[in-house]
Amino acid sequence: MNKRITIYDLAKTLKVSPGTVSRSLNNHPSISDKTKQRVIAKANELGYKINKFASNLSSQKSNTIGVIVPKLNSNFMSTILAGIEKVVNEAGYSLIISQSLESMEKEKINSMTLFNSGVDAILVSLAYDTTDYEHFTPFIKHKIPLIFLDRVPNLPECLTLIIDNYLAGFEATEHLIEQGCKNILYIGGNQNRNVYLERFKGYRAALKKHGLDYSFDELLETDLDPRNIDEVITYIKNHPTPIDGLFVASDSFAAHCIKELKKVSFKIPEDIKVVGFNNDPISELISPSLTTINYPGYEMGVLAGQSVINQLKGNIDMQATNAISLRHELIIRESSTIK
């Protein structure tokens, strides 16, 4: 087992005092930014971890697993976390949970904090705007298990847990077509994120299969923030060809679409049929109830927890597996069908 890097090792390598290293790592104002950056860069290179778990020094294990999610106020993410927590707690591990707040910069800070905290593994669902994955390199370099779920990058060294977003997008769109929709608008998030891009590709494939034309006017890329719903409603109202179907990549945003469309005299599903995504509780509470894709968040969390525990215990080598795909299900409700 490799020797744990200490502050004294860093000080010797950098030819500075241990106090300078300590203050640099703790962002002390007395240390210049240039020195801080130099110390942090060397710490990352050598795999230094801040020791907050002295009782486990002999085993070099903290019995903690880090998790980074985009937002904690998401029902989908809370179900994933519940599944993870159940499994890892039963195995004797604790979770350190952080949120990126949909910011790559915040995600970078969180990942380094977790690395320096000495977590034994890390589970990540990427922020909305993440385009650079260099901040995960220390985990890969030091063979710390790193698993991505839902929003994932294409990194061959890491396991990903996903659903078949392409097929889910296809099935959601085909359902709308089968209900008579001819001009379907896809409302999704950042196309740099795998989940939104793959759902969009499935949407386009369904249109093509059924001989429906596609134009770029039928993709509305948004941040899926309900505070911006007015822009979406205006887009729908002013579309040159009347929209008769919506495939929305979020149940919450789909519910807000239904609510606001009804305010401006659209009838759901008579005028516009709507399909959401995730099967959040709001999909059954909104009127009419929302047709959606069931995304098994809790099951994904359980599988993520099992995968990381098995890696930590050496029971399985996940390097041989690039991706695990869970089953989804189209749940048909009132928003897309006329009785």
Tell me the C-alpha distance between 100 and 39, whole Å.
25
pTM to 2 decimal places: 0.80
Q: Look up the CATH number of the domain holding residue 38.
A: 1.10.260.40
How many domains is the chain built from?
3
Q: Where are the beta strands (DSSP E) in the chain?
A: 64-69, 94-99, 121-124, 146-149, 159-163, 184-188, 219-221, 245-248, 273-275, 292-294, 323-326, 329-331
Mean pLDDT per block of 10 residues along the chain (339 residues) reads 74 89 81 88 81 45 91 92 96 95 94 91 95 93 93 87 96 98 94 93 96 82 91 94 95 97 97 97 97 96 95 71 88 93
Domain of 151 in residue numbering reads as: 57-163+299-326
DSSP classification of residue 63? -
Helix (H) or strand (E) holding 304: helix 297-312
| The predicted structure's pLDDT at residue 51 | 54
Q: Are residues 171 and 289 in the same domain?
A: yes
Burial category of 318 from C-beta neighbours within 10 Å (exposed 0-12, middle 13-18, buried 19 and up): middle
180 in the same domain as 278: yes
On whether both 122 and 65 belong to a single domain, the answer is yes
Residue 288, number of CB atoms within 10 A of its CB:
17
- Which pLDDT belongs to residue 186? 96
Do 245 and 311 fall within a single domain?
A: no
Give the pLDDT score at 52. Answer: 47
Residues 285 and 172 in one domain: yes
Distance from C-alpha of 198 to C-alpha of 324, rounded to nearest angstrom:
16
Look up the CATH number of the domain holding residue 118: 3.40.50.2300
Provide the CB-side half-sphere exposure for 121 (13 A, CA).
26
Please report the pLDDT score of residue 56 as a whole number: 43
Residue 36 shares a structural domain with residue 153: no
* β strands within 175-282, DSSP E: 184-188, 219-221, 245-248, 273-275
Q: Which of 30, 48, 66 is the last residue of a domain?
A: 48
